[in-house]
Amino acid sequence: MNKIVLVSIVLTMVSACVKAQDTTVTDDTMTGPMSFFITSIGAGDGANFGGIEGADEHCQDLADDAGAGNRTWRAYLSTTGRVNFKNPEDNTPSIHARDRIGKGPWYNAKGELIARDVEHLHSNNNINKQTALNEKGEMVNGRGDNPNQHDILTGSRPDGTAFSPHVSFTCKNWFSNEEGAAAVGHHDKTGPSEDNWAKSWNFSHFSRGCSQKALESSGGAGLLYCFAID
């Protein structure tokens, strides 16, 4: 009788474990309201957004038009700091894109998971041409489309941090539409080769300049990644 009771208890425990495993839902299978998009349009002035605050406003305005303006939106952009060795009190800290977009998770306009958190975003995220949609839920032109618009402005290194203050790849911290260059990523994770740089969503290469024409000449349109921080 004791053996029968023991077997019954074990089977009950195993059944409970299996049931728990069957009903466990991970972030990868969950859906949620839009908290990530690529802008459908740029500012129309190259990489000049009137600074990083203007870029945030651009994201917020497009989110509002799409019915998601009840959230706080930030552009995935870094800015270059300044180091003044003679007068350290004049130093300006860099701003890192990864530090200003919230904690996640983030979902596209169709509710598909983009990334669970900041670490996932900068490792094995779900950004590709099919999922990196604009705020209208539309795919953004990539390599092979006419025109190609897969160069997304980031001003960031692969880990989402700013470049050294000794160089500037942020089009003068998003105030320039002429001189300078910007670091860009490929939302479709494709390029002219199979090298890792060609497949990077946030740092593939540098733009040919900061004007609208210069951005378009290398496969861009002055578009941004936008993330909801709340």
Give the Cα separation of 206 and 94 in Å (integer): 19
Domains in the chain, please, with CATH? Answer: 27-228 (3.10.100.10)
For residue 108 the two structure tokens come to 């596209």
DSSP class of residue 139? B
Handedness of CA 135, 174, 206, 83 (dihedral sign): negative
For residue 15 the two structure tokens come to 């059944």
DSSP 3-state percent helix, strand, coil across the chain (nearest 5): 25, 15, 55
Predicted TM-score of the model (pTM): 0.86
Digit-coded pLDDT (tens) for 97-122: 999 999 999 999 999 999 999 999 99
How far from each other are the two terminal CA atoms of the chain, in whole angstroms?
58
Phi, psi (rounded to 5 degrees) for 114: -100, -45
Digit-coded pLDDT (tens) for 147-204: 999 999 999 999 999 999 989 999 999 999 999 999 999 999 999 888 888 899 999 9
